[in-house]
Amino acid sequence: MSKNIQAIRGMNDILPEQTPLWRYFENGVASLLDGYGYRQIRMPIVEFTELFKRSIGEVTDIVEKEMYTFEDRNGDSLTLRPEGTASCVRAVLEHGISGGGQLQKLWYVGPMFRHERPQKGRYRQFHQIGVEVFNLPGPDIDAELIVLTWRLWGLLGLREAVTLELNSLGSSEARARYREALVEYLSARFEQLDEDSQRRLSSNPLRILDSKSPDTQALLVDAPKLADYLDEESRLHFEGLKARLDAAGVPYVINSKLVRGLDYYGKTVFEWVTDQLGAQGTVCAGGRYDGLVEQLGGKPTPAVGFAMGVERLVLLLETLDKVPAELSRQVDLYFCAFGEAAELAALALAEQLRDALPGMRLAVNAGAGSFKSQLKKADKSGALYALVLGEDELAGRIVGLKPLRADGEQQSVGWDELGERLAACLQA
Ligand code: ATP
Ligand code: MG
């Protein structure tokens, strides 16, 4: 016997038990973003490899070791997108929709691919909802992005569980000056650095700030601070952002070591983190990337955005027991019918009910079965009521209405009153 083929490690099926929660989350975010005037964009999952090399940066972890890159039949080097910002910028440029200072407030949702070590909250195919805004340079829009995520946490019941970490990376000149000072400081202590940080010292020294090694972190205590190197413009921008978050009542902490793993950020960077998910605690992250559009061939275009990890947020909702109870209910009503004639009548009645009560969810029993077995299926469906139609009910042009989640006897309802009666029951 041949071995069953399995899914690729780190790439998960989202099973029917889980999809209601995914849809609750995704629909919640979508309607929130609609409410702030953001519009959805959909990009391909595969792009030319060059796009990610040029945007994310050659010496980042993502590009160095996490991308799914392959040659297609034309000999082109293609990559499964590891994130959405690069594709979004590519699309906006390609269609000229950010040219001439046109404001764009965009969002997208979809799978991303990174060859990382799979573990709880870290997968090789994972999903992000991303938001990107083009052509607004000020801190007002950075604040709006953060305020809207704060509203989202409120809607989902997650405010207590997340903390906003905030930093400013300054201008590229300020970062360059800081990088020099940091490299000088760390070079003098090279032997004490962990191996990863030793490698990064020449390639991407700012990422050392993010090192997980306690020894390296101890070294950093007395290292030069990025905040002391900020240019005046970035400092004012950051002050403007903080003032707006204060005004909106969004709590934050300044984390001067927050640098993010992608090269394109400058000025604002932020992460929403939780201590409820173990090591994979960042549920949403983003920042300003005013240089990226130009780097990809466009005119200078201020831009800011973020992406949230859908798996981690779904996991957080489960961990904190914030899953709305009604999500376990597949349908509101389950129609049981006994015998061929009753089945035919039930089918016709069910269609009439669907006309009369849009939004109601009704399953009609298929596959016949005894009273006991049909009611068992009705119960399993999570329905609030079973509709029962047997020979007697058929003769009397009535349906038995049996409550499944509350005490109470089965009642008889005439076919003509059924729509009205069910509307009242489901509203209660
Ligand atoms: P991390 O530090 O956790 O690796 P990152 O800095 O690589 O995250 P981004 O590229 O900014 O993350 O992606 C934004 C969000 O997408 C993250 O905050 C996280 O919630 C989610 N995310 C990133 N990588 C993964 C992954 N491999 N599996 C699941 N979610 C992920
Ligand atoms: Mg990562």
Read off the pLDDT of each residue in 129-140 and give the average, rounded to a whole number. Answer: 98
Q: Which two tokens stand for residue 15?
A: 């099973």
Task: Calculate how far, in angstroms, residue 221's C-alpha sits from the geometric centre of ligand 1.
Answer: 26
Residue 114 pLDDT grade (very low, low, confident, very high; cuts 50, 70, 90) = very high
DSSP 135-190: S--SHHHHHHHHHHHHHHHHHHT-GGGEEEEEEE---HHHHHHHHHHHHHHHHTTG
| Tokens 């409410």 found at | 35
CA of 17 to the centre of ligand 2 (A): 28
375 CA distance to ligand 2 middle (Å): 49
Picking from 286, 288, 256, the residue whose alpha carbon sits closest to that of residue 273 is 286
CB 370 within 8 A of CB 339: no
Three-state secondary structure call for residue 166: strand
Please say if the pLDDT value at position 210 is more than 80: yes
Domains, the chain: 19-170+230-319 (3.30.930.10), 329-427 (3.40.50.800)
Taken as a whole, the chain contains a residue count of 428
| Token duo for residue 194 | 């962990």
Q: What is the pLDDT of residues 223-279, one digit of tens each?
A: 999 999 999 999 999 999 999 999 999 999 999 999 886 678 899 999 999 999 999
Measured by CA distance, the residue closest to atom 21 of ligand 1 is: 309
Between the CA of 335 and the centroid of ligand 1 the distance, in Å, is 45
pLDDT bin (cut points 50, 70, 90) of residue 427 is confident
- What DSSP string describes 358-385? TT--EEE--S---HHHHHHHHHHTT-SE
Q: Which residues have C-beta atoms less than 6 Å from ligand 1? A: 83, 114, 116, 121-123, 126, 128, 261, 280, 282-285, 307-309, 311-312
Q: Is the pLDDT of residue 58 over 90?
A: no
Query: Residue of the nearest CA to atom 7 in ligand 1?
Result: 261
Smallest CA-to-CA distance from 156 within 298, 245, 272, 296 is with 272
The residues, ordered by sequence, that sit 6+ positions from 392 with a Cβ below 8 Å of its Cβ are none
Give, for ligand 1, the residue of 55, 63, 312, 317 to mutate: max count of ligand atoms closer than 8 Å to Cβ. Answer: 312
What mean pLDDT is predicted for residues 354-374? Answer: 96
What is the reported pLDDT for 264? 82
Question: What's the 163 CA to ligand 2 centre distance in angstroms?
Answer: 19
Cα–Cα distance for residue pair 322/157, rounded to 1 Å: 7
Smallest CA separation from ligand 1 atom 26, residue? 122
Residue spans of alpha helices (H) in 36-84: 49-56, 61
Mean pLDDT for the chain overall: 96
Helix (H) or strand (E) holding 91: helix 85-94
Distances (CA, A) of 188 to 143, 183, 205, 207, 375: 39, 8, 14, 18, 75
Residues sharing a CB contact under 8 Å with residue 64, sequence separation 6 or more, in sequence order? 58
For the stretch 138-180, pLDDT in tens is 999 999 999 999 999 999 999 999 999 999 999 989 999 999 9
Residue pair 124/305 in contact (Cβ under 8 Å)? The answer is no
Nearest listed ligand to the Cα of residue 126: 1
Q: Which atom of ligand 1 has the smallest separation from the CA of 116?
A: 27
* pLDDT of residue 371 exceeding 90: yes
Nearest ligand for residue 86 CA: 1
354 pLDDT higher than 80: yes
pLDDT tens readout for residues 298-351: 999 999 999 999 999 999 999 999 999 989 899 999 999 999 999 999 999 999
Does the structure show a pLDDT above 90 at 7? yes
From 14, 55, 126, give the residue whose CB has the most ligand 1 atoms within 8 Å, as the site to mutate: 126
**Top mutation candidate among 129, 282, 316 for ligand 1, by most atoms within 8 Å of CB:** 282
Q: Whose CA is nearest to atom 28 of ligand 1?
A: 122
d(CA 30, CA 129): 9
- Out of 25, 128, 169, give the residue to mutate to test ligand 1, the one with the largest number of ligand atoms within 8 Å of its CB: 128
Mean pLDDT of 112-116: 98
Q: What percent of the chain has pLDDT over 90?
A: 92
